[in-house]
Copies of this chain bind each other. A is one copy, B any other.
């Protein structure tokens, strides 16, 4: 089995100013490709120390994967260090330089001398293109070994890793075992509850293996199978998935990589429905989530952020008496907001939320974390749910927005 090491580069990592999330992303991709990761090292922005770390890693392992230090500043020294560690001089790559110049022209910024350094690579390196930034990566093959170097920003690194680095490593080391992961994304259920419901499967199932990974408001259940072909790996997963679904049921909103906003969008699109939002405590976050999806204008009419009561009355036609009688955070007001959103934007569904995001504004009757979420339908029916969400202000807002999307999806897929 080919071995690999990861080197993440940046003084900020050694000052504790930044958590290194790249290592876990790279490690996960390498493990899935079938490489054995032996060690991970972080070094600062110091040419000699980077070069030493690269030399040591090359002496121990087959593949050395570096992240960071490819920017345009004087602190970005990974190119120079890899050149020094491998004895390959840096040479400007004309195609990469032209790409870089085109990038600057496109965004209308002037290109500094420093930026030109980003088009220099150790002799013999393959350039890995970076459509998301100015720093291309590179792969330098040295007989049975290889050094792959990628930029540090995750949104630049991740596509380069997936599209260039992993395919190159799989080809070089003839990694034919296929590892397939299917992520069952859940919402509205806690990690420990999932654990309780499927813990026997954890133990009994080695291939596919099961892992549970919690994010804010969402928990992923990963089924990972290893087999000689993609087809065989998928068959293993297909056999296990129904067992997991039987336990977790309605909480699973995606098995195909779709986010919750994408899942909601697909359901709306399938029915030819549209939706509008009325948000209080989430302040626009539900709209922002819906509109992360390209083409969401096809089904999203828009929304009202009714933070002040006046806005609820003026823009959503919520009767002032309703607010006086039940309070702004109430079932009644949530329902009126959902109806108001539907009518203002002339959509099929209206989705509303009102609640106490905290840290202030809570009371015994209406504590911090209490939210009411409502969905108004075309036929005049209105659903409303009351939930109590734990956590600090931003976590409450995130989770509340995701719950609202879940309710909307449940209404749309019905």
Which residues in A have some Cβ–Cβ distance to B below 8 Å? 11-21, 23-31, 37-44, 49, 53, 71-75, 106-109, 112, 114-115, 132, 134, 153, 155, 190-192, 195-196, 199, 202-203, 211-214, 216, 222, 224, 277, 279, 281-288, 290-292, 294-297, 300-308, 310-311, 314-315, 344-346, 357-360, 369, 388, 390-395, 397
Which residue of B212, B277, B296, B344 is within 8 Å of A315 (Cβ)?
Answer: B344
- In the complex, A250 Cα to B390 Cα: how many Å? 39
Count of this chain's copies in the oligomeric assembly: 2
When distances are taken between beta carbons in the complex, the residues of chain B under 8 Å from A192 are 71-73, 112, 114-115, 134
A217–chain B nearest beta-carbon distance, Å: 12
- In the complex, A34 Cα to B224 Cα: how many Å? 42
When distances are taken between beta carbons in the complex, the residues of chain B under 8 Å from A132 are 391-392, 395
Asked, given contacts A14-B37, A301-B311, A345-B311, whether A114 binds B195 with beta carbons under 8 Å apart, the answer is yes
When distances are taken between beta carbons in the complex, the residues of chain B under 8 Å from A304 are 302-305, 315
Which residue of B11, B27, B213 is within 8 Å of A211 (Cβ)?
Answer: B11
A114–chain B nearest beta-carbon distance, Å: 6
Binding site secondary structure of chain A? mixed
When distances are taken between beta carbons in the complex, the residues of chain B under 8 Å from A24 are 13, 16-20
A306–chain B nearest beta-carbon distance, Å: 5
9 additional A-B residue pairs with CB within 8 Å, beyond A74-B195, A291-B357: A14-B38, A16-B29, A74-B203, A279-B284, A283-B300, A301-B311, A302-B306, A303-B305, A308-B345
Q: Name which of A73, A191, A291 has the most chain B CB atoms within 10 A of its CB.
A: A291
When distances are taken between beta carbons in the complex, the residues of chain B under 8 Å from A392 are 132, 155
